[in-house]
Amino acid sequence: MTPIKSVHLLNPNTVGETGAAYSGPWSAARKGLVQATIDGTGAVTATVVVQGSNDGAHWTDIGTLSLNGAGGTDTKTQAVDYPWAQLRAVSSALVGVGATVQASLSL
């Protein structure tokens, strides 16, 4: 069995940002999963958009993860069913005391 690999698409940050593009390698036999998390104190919110591209210039939204944690944390996931040439995550609308958002891809 091939071990699961985890790649950071967004390192923990306190502001909205566009993460670096991940360009593989992909396993055609395994689908990917993006997990986005937010941590902070009290009510925290953020949006993470997962995007794919086949040329690195034009990006397609694969899914939008709306993170909303009344207790200071929340986690959402998005399946990636196609091995795009490149994949990235874009965070925005980050609100909350000490709030940080991050996203990882498992393959």
Phi, psi for 100 (deg, rounded to 5): -130, 145
pLDDT of residue 30: 63
Instruction: Give the count of beta carbons closer than 10 Å to the beta carbon of residue 80.
Output: 19
Q: How many Cα atoms are found within 13 Å in the side-chain-facing hemisphere of 107?
A: 17
Domain ranges of the chain: 6-106
Domain 6-106, CATH: 2.60.120
Mean pLDDT calculated for residue range 23-29 = 71
Q: Evaluate if residue 25 carries a pLDDT over 90.
A: no
Task: Mean pLDDT check: name the lowest of 15-19, 26-30, 71-75, 93-97.
Answer: 26-30
pLDDT of residue 3: 65
CA distance 95 to 100: 9
Task: Give residue-wise pLDDT tens across range 49-91.
Answer: 999 999 999 999 999 999 999 888 999 999 998 878 899 999 9
